[in-house]
Structure 1
């Protein structure tokens, strides 16, 4: 651990959140995913959080996809025939904290870094359904392990507005903030082991 975040070694560490019906983001077609990240590795393919199965992702959130050190989000629509993919213009440098987020409104993917809108991509349709677990620190296929620290990873089945995303980094610096919502701490595992009671890693889903 590092503070209240979890350190991922880039080799085989992950947190897995077992599937529950409340995790079905395809019902609303709206989504916000946010996390504090501190990257210690370089290069490509550091997964922050993913929700996908063998047919492809509902969503996949990462640093370094086609371009190293760029924040990215990838979504698949409900028919499985279309995908939306956007990477940031801002570079994610190692050894410093960033508050990162992406939102999906049903027509746009938007990426935020430290509360500021970085980039927007037009994409339409509901999200592809999946009953797979959510993985933090890797993709569900066991690839692209994150090297560094992830803290306060959150998923919302709605699109948060820019004001709330701007407020979040400032608020977190001022005090430890525990948001309301359905806590999933008791369903998480790390590298196949149950979360210890003293691990205060925040993983939540908000309806």
Structure 2
């Protein structure tokens, strides 16, 4: 029996006319994840605290048991004006569209829908190379992949994207193209249909 992988698809959305993102002097980073140990918001905050000379702002979307600790860390580092804790949000799509860079640093993952949503919003992505993440993010093309706990490389990649607007746009573009090619519902339906058709043909041949 041959295995066939069919990736999850999500709705394609009409591109809304949003203000040109690049007018803001502080590029906006966004992370969408539960505030629990494997999601590693702490790693992102530590890395950003160490590159506070670079312009950035961060929105953390989600909630969970670690939120209070992380808010304390941000206060202790004097970063309250640069980090927003938004809690759980219904309209994540709009928040992604307002952002410049998506980060997900999980210690383990399957195939994260949040990355697919970031691709749909045309964002460059920095993510840990775990689970199926490398099926979504092509290193050095639509973003950067890093190993778990590699804070030094994380800082380097953050700096690269925060300081280079044209690189952000180029990688964001690649991200969106990959979404349109492979991760809308249409390719998912087509691949599923193809698998069923092949199965039907095979069984028909056996019956001949």
Q: TM-score, normalised by structure 2?
A: 0.28
When you count strand as a share of all residues, which structure comes out higher? 1
When you count helix as a share of all residues, which structure comes out higher? 2
Q: TM-score, normalised by structure 1?
A: 0.29
Higher relative contact order (CA 8 A, sep 6+): 1
